[in-house]
Every structure is written in structure tokens, then in C-alpha cells.
Structure 1
Amino acid sequence: MSQDVLTTETNRRQLQQIIAGLSDGVILLELDQTILWANEAALAMHGVSRMGDLGRDARDYARRFTLRYRNNHPVPADHYPISRVARGETFSDVLVEVIPTGDEERSWVHNVRSMVLTDNAGEPESLVLIMDDVTEWASAEQRFEKTFNANPAPAVICRLSDLRYIKVNPGFLEMTGYARDQVIGTTTYELDVLDGAENKDLAKQRLREGATIPQMSAQLQLSDGGCRQVIVAGQPLELNDEACMLFSFVDMEPRHKAEIALRQSEERFAKAFRLSPVPILVCGAHDQVVMDVNKAFLDTFAYPGEEVFGRTIAQIDFIHDKGARTRLFATLEKTASLDRIDVRVRRKDGELIDCAVSADTVAIQDGLCYLLVLMDVTERKRTELELISAIEEVMKDASWFSRTLIEKLANVKKVSSPTLPRVSFTDLTARERDVLGLICEGLADKEIAVRLKLATNTVRNHVSTVYSKLDVHSRSEAIVWARERGLFSGEWRPKGHR
């Protein structure tokens, strides 16, 4: 064996001993592309235990392992790092994903560089592939990439060394209208996301220092020349061992538009509230404290503002019938709204006014309130009562009036609007029901006394009790009350006479 060959073999053994324990993977090749040797780290990075499992040469290696770039594009066989170094190329930082052919479940990511060893004459003697296993780093980067792209909040990342954007997510592109290539590689001077920030000087200083940029409102320039209201913040991070700044944004435009619409709606409501000729009152739903009334309310009921604002409905005591007040708010609490309920209201000077009350539950400043609209129907009521009174005069002791006429009287008396629930027919005693039924037949007290075999005074007491319970003041009103509820539509017979 010649001295040169011996020296070469000695050098190779020494080289193998040096690199055998390295954590970097090392593969040695002959100039004819034959795989000469590989250390344990290189075998582990390929998921094999024997050097022969790597293949005899570069071509055999390409049949045993499939390589992909980080963008998932396949690496052509003649561009495999082992094929490139076999051609004598030198390169560094080539990132490839290595997958055993036919076994997609296993893969590794290698950062590969090459060396060409020369002899004393400077001629190529051996070829070397050196690889780092960066699988964990690549996996973490892939997770970050997926999270970054999936994040609905618009975001960009710029490299602090040159202030160029290196990543942008779909949320930012969709919000601003830019294309990806209009952002990637652009500097923060060309696309300044902090230009419209409320504290631009602080934000720029923190960017230069690589420090956290606190949240602040800003106007972000759009691709069409417009701008958008946003909240911007900056968070320093390291990406690929480089200091970077992650800018994230909250699109405030929908909220801004909603606030404008709400403000306009509130202004319209306030104007309608103030200018309405109908008395309107707003009170809290839980405590019935008056929050606001319009001028029509103060004018109609003659109350000064200081006796109304901040006081409860009960303290003001302008609803004449306390029972009606209780039923009104109980019904509101249950159904959330009312439509034209008859309520008698007392003015400051004591005058009683008949009102048709409509109410609804509204949210004001995140609190539930009741909005009450009180329509003065005193004149209408007076007209109706005058008509009924005239009919009653004619009907006195005129039991011969037909039921049809009584029904028409009921229709005249009946207000077209619903009323609050009051006493029911079942609240009357059996005897009181008998008396009411005979009243509806048109019988006078003496006739009722004969029919029921009672004293006339006893009948009068029963009639008075019925009036009180039904909140009526005459026989005709009692008849109307019964007809409105569909009572005694057939011929009435008291108990014991049926």
C-alpha cells in the first residue's frame, strides 16, 4: 500500500473517530457518490440503525427517502443535498423534510450544509454532508404558523434588524385590502401601522427598543387610500433566532359604526320624547324610580320637576287607585308590555284625569326600565258617560227594554281598549251572583226581593256590595260589566228557581 493511500486511510479513521460522537449528523461520500460512512447521529436522523440502510450511493438514497421543502413542495432527486454535494457543490442552511419512502408517519426536518475535503494538492478527496435535526424547532414553528394564520385578529410581524415585515395573516389582508406581496418585504416606513396611533412617539420609541407597545387607538391606512379605526398593540418575540415585533389589531370599525347608529337612535328618541304632546314617563323596572318625564307630563298633571325626578311612582302617588297601580306594574313585570290600559290619574291640584296607559320594557344604560305613555281620554270618557247617563234615565224602572238594547248599551259603555284585570265573577258570593243576574234581567229591588224571598233592605245591601266589588255606580254599569264578560247571555234563574 502506497504511503499516500495509507495516509488517506489514517486521516479518514481519525476523522471518523473525531466526528463519531458529535451530535451533528455526518455522512461521508466518495467522489463516485458512494456512501462511505455515517455517524450514529446521522443514522438516527434517518430512523435507521445500519449504514447500509441509507443506501449504497446518492441514487439509492433518493429511492429510500423522500425529501420535501418546508413549503411541502417535493425536492427533485438531482436537488437532494446528497446529490448536490456529490456534484461538488458547497451550500449551507438547506432545510428539508426527510420521510422514509412509503412511511408517511415518520419524518424529520434537517438543516443541511456541505463540505468538500481536498488533498495536499487541493484536489477533491472526500465529500461531507453535515446535518442538524431541527424537527422540534420546525414543529414549533409550524404550530406558530398555523396559529398565526388561523388567528381571526389581524396581525403582522416585522423583523427589528431592518424593520421589514416577514409575516402577515389573512385577517390583516382582509381588513386592509392589501395583497400578501404588498406587505411581505415592505418596511414599516413604507407601510406604517403606527402612523395614526394616538401616542405615536411612545409607540415608535418602544419599537426601536424592541419593547412592548401598549394598546392604543389608531387609524390604519388601507390599500384604497382610506383608513380604519383600530386598536393596535406590539409584542416583541423571537422568530428563527431573530428579534421581531408582532403587531396585532382589533378592528373598531363595526363598533364605531354601531356607536354612531346608537347615538343617532338615542338622539331621535330624545327628540321624540321631549317634543311628544302626549305625557311620557320613564322609571326603573326594579324600583319604579322616575328617571325622566317629558314636558307634556309636567304640563298635563301640573307637577313641578323636583317633585317627580328621583322619586318612586308610589311616592308621587299620581295614580288614583293604588290597586290599579299595583296591578299595572305586576302585569308589566309578567308580560313586559301593556296596550291602552284604563287608569285614573290625579293631577297635582287633585283633579282626576282618565288615561289610557301603554307601556313597554326598554333597556337604558344597561338597565331595564319601563316607558309609560299616558293618553288623556277624559273628554272621550265624559262623552260616553253622558250618553250612558241619558240612556239610564230613560231605562229607570223600564224592565221592558229588550236584551238587544242592553247589549248596545254595553257596546257604548265598553272602551275599545283592554283594561287591567280587576275583580272576577267568582269573587262574588252565590247570593250576590243571583242579585247581579236579576239586575241583568232588568228587575227592580222590590222585584228581586220577591223573586229571592228576601227583605227589600237585604236586597239593597246586596246590590250595594255588588256595586262596590265591581267598582260600578249604577245598575246599567253593572249590566255592562256582566255583558262585557259574557255573563247571563241566557235567561237567568237564581238558585232554587232553575
Structure 2
Amino acid sequence: MSQDVLTTETNRRHLQQIIAGLSDGVILLELDQTIIWANEAALSMHGVEQLGDLGANAQEYAKRFALRYRNNHPVVFDNYPISRVGRGETFSDVLVEVTRTDDEERTWVHNVRSRVLTNSRGDPESLVLIMDDVTEWASAEQRFERTFNANPAPAVICRLSDLRYIKVNAGFLEMTGYTRDQVIGASTYELDILEGAERRELAIERLREHATIPQMQAELTLPEGGSKQVIVAGQPLAFNEEDCMLFSFVDIEPRHKAEVALRQSEERFAKAFRLSPVPILVCGAADQVVMDVNEAFLDTFAYPSEEVLGKTVAEIGFFHDKGAQTRLFAALEKTARLDRIDVGLRKKTAELLDCAISADTVNIQDHPSYLLVMMDITERKRTELELVAAIEEVMKDASWFSRTLIEKLANVKSVNSPKLPSVSLAELTARERDVLGLICEGLADKEIAARLKLAPNTVRNHVSTIYSKLDVHSRSEAIVWARERGLFSGEWRTKGQR
């Protein structure tokens, strides 16, 4: 064996030992394009475990791995990096997608460069392919491309080295009427997107400094003549390893109209909210965290704002009955709105208030929220209860009531706020409905017993059960309960009218 051969084998062995542990993939070839060695990184980048899986030479490699450029065009065999280095070419930064022909689901993106190793006389001795796995970077770039192109907000990307546009999305083309060819490759001098900008000098200064350009109003010249008022902003970014500026735009006319309408609506709501003499609370629908309250709420319930804002309704604890609180929000979740629900609320001082709550579901910053309006009806309810108590005290027997008086009593009671859904007539037994109907006619227990052929004690037991189920405490309240629901309306007769 000649000295040159020994030297070559020794050099290759040393080279292989040096590069075996590199993160870059390395493939060595003979001058006849025979693949003679590859490190672990190169095998991994092709999804194989053994050198033979790459193929014996360039031709077999091409049969086992299909290559495409980043524009999705297939690479012909003569342009495969392994073929080019086999012809002695040196190149760098060739980006290709590599797919195994026996498993098309597995794809890598390689950044490939080549080296031609020479002997002491300068003659080619070995060929080297060096590759980086840039699959992750390429995927991120592809996601950016898709996001940029799909983004409905008009946008262009300008390369800062020469101030030429290298990317434009459909939103910009649709807004302005330009074609893609009219934008790509054009300079900022040919298509001045900062023309007429209200702070043009600041924008140009920031562009030179590769710094963020704040939002500002500008005027775009349109290709068919005329112009369009827009809001433009610039954000520096790196694209394809080059410093660029992403310009984004908003067509100012529809946005301006929407902002004016929204501002006016918010102003009207804010004024009504703040100036209302009735306590109002806004909380999140999902978590019931209090987002805002008006001055009337703080004054009425004697809470400082810091003990209310950011707390949940349960944490504040101003509902006297936790069960009523749970039922109210459950009903609100189901129906989206409630009207005048009687609820007992508690001030910070522990004083109880009778309130009628009306509530509705509103969207605040795209979050479903509840608007609760709480009217203090403590005095009114006390007056009504005193009136009913006085009537019951004077007239213990409902048979003494005239029809006119019963209806007036019903009218007095009907001004009370409706309660949360409670018992229905269907929950009474048939016999209990009969007894309730006769109570509504103004009959006493003895008369009901005679009419239904029941013992007086049995009638009294039915009356007691009816009171319990309807949550009432007297014959007059039972009559009003039925009257408010339109029950037995054709049977309202007093004792003297039968």
C-alpha cells in the first residue's frame, strides 16, 4: 500500500472522528459519488439508522429521498445537492425539503452546503455535504407566511437594507386596488405609504433607526387616482434573517364611524349609570366578580368601593339569603333577564333592606356580564304589610269581604315585585285545588266542609297544607296568590252574592 493511500485513510479516519459528534449532518462521498460515511446527525436528519439506508451512491439516494424547493417545486436529480457536489461544485445555503419516498409523512428541511477536500497536490480527494436541520425554523416561517397572508388587516413588509417591499397580503391589495406585482419590489419612494402622515418626520426617523413607528393617520395614493385615509403603524421584525419593517393599516372611515357610535353609546351608558339614584351593579356572568358599581350602590349599602370592586358577589355577602342569591343567578343564566325580583339585601351595617332586583345580560369588552338594578322597596313593603295586617285584624273571616274590597286588596298586593319561580297550582292535589277555589269564593271552613261533604277538621288540614305549599299565612294572602295568577277568576263571589 502506497504512502499516499495510507495518508488518505488516516486523514479520513481523523476527520470522521472529529465530525462524528457534531450537530451538523455530514456525508462523505468518493469522487464517483459513492457514499462512504455519514455521522449520526446526518442519519437522523434522514430518519434512518444505518449508512446503507441512505443508498450506496447519489442515484440510489435520489430514489429513496424526494427533494423539493421551498416554493414546492420538485428538485430534478441533476440539481440534488448530492449530485452537484459529485460534479465538484461548491455551494452554500441551499434550502430543500427532504421526504422519504417510502414514508411521505416524514419531511425535513435541510440547509445544505458543500466542500471539496483536496490532497497535498490540490487534487480533489473527497466530497462533503454539510447540512443543518432547519425544519423547526421553516415551520415557524411557514406559519408566519400563512398568518400574514390570511390576516384580514392590510399589511406590507419592507426590507430595511434597500427600503423595498418584499411581502404584501390580500388585505392591502383589496383596500388599495394595487396588484401584487405593483407592490413587490417597489421602493418606499415609488409607493410612499407614509405620504401625508400626520407625523411623517417621526415616522421616517423611526424607519431609519429600525424602531417602532407609532400609529398615525396617513393618506395612501391609489393606483387609479384618488387617495384613502388610513391609520398606519410600523413594527420592526427579522424576516429571512434580514431586518424588515412590518407596516399594518386600518381603513379609517368605517373604524371612525364605529368608534364614534361606540363612544356615544358608552358615554350615554356611563352617564345613566353614574347619575342613576338607584343602586346598580355590574358583574361577570361566569364568575360574578363585581366590575363596577355606581355611587347610589355605595351610598345605599354603605360599602367603600375597595370592598366591592374585584370581589365576587358572594364575597361581599350583601344577599341576606344565600339560597335566594343562588336562585337569582341560576334564573338569570337560564333566562338572560329578570324583572323586579323580591330579594332581601343587607347593608354593611347589617341593616336589612327589601329590594326589587331587575337584571339583564350585557356584553362588556366581549365578556358576558350581568347588570343588576336594585330598587329599595323597604318602606313600600312595610306599608303594604301594615295595610294587610290591619285588614286581617279587623276582618278575621274572609266571608265578610265584599268583592270590591277583595279586588282592592289584590291590587294592593299586585304592586309587590314578583318573586322567583315558586310553587304552581299543579303542585296542589285535586282536593286542595277545590278547597282553594272555595276560599276564593269567600266561603268559611264550615261552609267549605258542607259544600264538599267533608269534616271541618279535614277542611282545616287542607287549608293548612295549602298555606304551606303556597308560602302564605292567611286566607286573604291565599286569595291574592290565586288572583295574581288569574285562577278561579270566574268563581269570585262573596257570601252575600251567592
TM-score (norm 1): 0.52
Match of 1:220 in 2: 218
Q: CA deviation at 1:348?
A: 3.7
In our comparison, the structure showing a higher alpha carbon Rg is 1
Q: 1:293, 1:187 → 2: CA distance?
A: 54
Match of 2:250 in 1: 251
Given candidates 227, 230, 233, the residue that maps to 1:231 is 233
**C-alpha distance after superposition, 1:204-226 (max 9, x if no partner):** 467xxxxxx98864542356899
* Residue identity in the other structure for 1:220: A
Q: 1:465, 1:434 → 2: CA distance?
A: 13
Q: CA deviation at 1:425?
A: 1.4
Structure-2 change in CA distance of 1:350 and 1:236 (3 Å): closer
CA contact (8 A) 2:229 2:251 kept: no
Equivalent positions of 1:55-66 (< 5 A) are none
**C-alpha distance after superposition, 1:27-47 (max 9, x if no partner):** xxxxxxxxxxxxxxxxxxxxx
**C-alpha distance after superposition, 1:359-384 (max 9, x if no partner):** 11122233221110011223333444
CA contact (8 A) 2:155 2:248 kept: yes
Match of 2:29 in 1: none
**C-alpha distance after superposition, 1:171-199 (max 9, x if no partner):** 87996899xxxx9xx98558743463865
Q: CA deviation at 1:344?
A: 3.2
Check if 1:475 corresponds to 2:475.
Answer: yes
Check if 1:203 corresponds to 2:207.
Answer: yes
CA contact (8 A) 1:449 1:455 kept: yes
Q: CA deviation at 1:387?
A: 4.1
Q: Any idea what SS the aligned residue of 1:421 has? A: coil
Q: 1:236, 1:319 → 2: CA distance?
A: 56
Structure-2 change in CA distance of 1:171 and 1:357 (3 Å): closer
Structure-2 change in CA distance of 1:408 and 1:219 (3 Å): closer
Q: Any idea what SS the aligned residue of 2:277 has? A: coil
Check if 1:439 corresponds to 2:443.
Answer: no
Q: CA deviation at 1:487?
A: 2.0
**C-alpha distance after superposition, 1:153-188 (max 9, x if no partner):** 7688999999899xx99987996899xxxx9xx985
Structure-2 change in CA distance of 1:338 and 1:152 (3 Å): closer
Q: 1:154, 1:306 → 2: CA distance?
A: 43
Match of 1:380 in 2: 380
Match of 2:409 in 1: 409
Check if 1:291 corresponds to 2:295.
Answer: no
Equivalent positions of 1:294-313 (< 5 A) are 294-313=294-313
Q: Any idea what SS the aligned residue of 1:399 has? A: helix
Q: CA deviation at 1:280?
A: 0.7
CA contact (8 A) 1:198 1:218 kept: no
CA contact (8 A) 1:283 1:290 kept: yes
Q: Which runs of 5+ in 1 are unaligned?
A: 1-150, 207-212, 238-244, 493-498
Q: 1:197, 1:259 → 2: CA distance?
A: 27
CA contact (8 A) 2:283 2:289 kept: yes
Q: CA deviation at 1:476?
A: 0.8
Structure-2 change in CA distance of 1:460 and 1:319 (3 Å): farther
Q: 1:355, 1:273 → 2: CA distance?
A: 18
CA contact (8 A) 2:281 2:294 kept: yes
* Residue identity in the other structure for 2:367: G
**C-alpha distance after superposition, 1:408-458 (max 9, x if no partner):** 432232127654321111223444334323322223344445555666555
Q: 1:386, 1:320 → 2: CA distance?
A: 22
Identity percentage over the alignment? 74
Q: 1:308, 1:236 → 2: CA distance?
A: 47
Match of 1:110 in 2: none
Q: 1:174, 1:438 → 2: CA distance?
A: 76
TM-score (norm 2): 0.52
CA contact (8 A) 1:157 1:246 kept: yes
CA contact (8 A) 2:301 2:348 kept: yes
CA contact (8 A) 1:230 1:252 kept: no
- RMSD over aligned Cα atoms: 5.0
CA contact (8 A) 1:343 1:356 kept: yes
Q: 1:247, 1:293 → 2: CA distance?
A: 42
CA contact (8 A) 1:231 1:251 kept: no
Match of 1:112 in 2: none
Structure-2 change in CA distance of 1:177 and 1:409 (3 Å): same
**C-alpha distance after superposition, 1:18-62 (max 9, x if no partner):** xxxxxxxxxxxxxxxxxxxxxxxxxxxxxxxxxxxxxxxxxxxxx
Match of 2:275 in 1: 275
Q: 1:330, 1:367 → 2: CA distance?
A: 18
Q: 1:441, 1:357 → 2: CA distance?
A: 34
Q: CA deviation at 1:284?
A: 1.8
Structure-2 change in CA distance of 1:394 and 1:199 (3 Å): same
Q: Any idea what SS the aligned residue of 1:228 has? A: strand
Query: Number of paired residues?
Result: 334
Q: CA deviation at 1:294?
A: 2.0
Structure-2 change in CA distance of 1:451 and 1:324 (3 Å): farther
Match of 1:466 in 2: 466
Q: Which runs of 5+ in 2 are unaligned?
A: 1-150, 493-498
Match of 1:326 in 2: 326
Match of 1:371 in 2: 371
Match of 1:69 in 2: none
Q: CA deviation at 1:314?
A: 3.5
Match of 2:341 in 1: 341
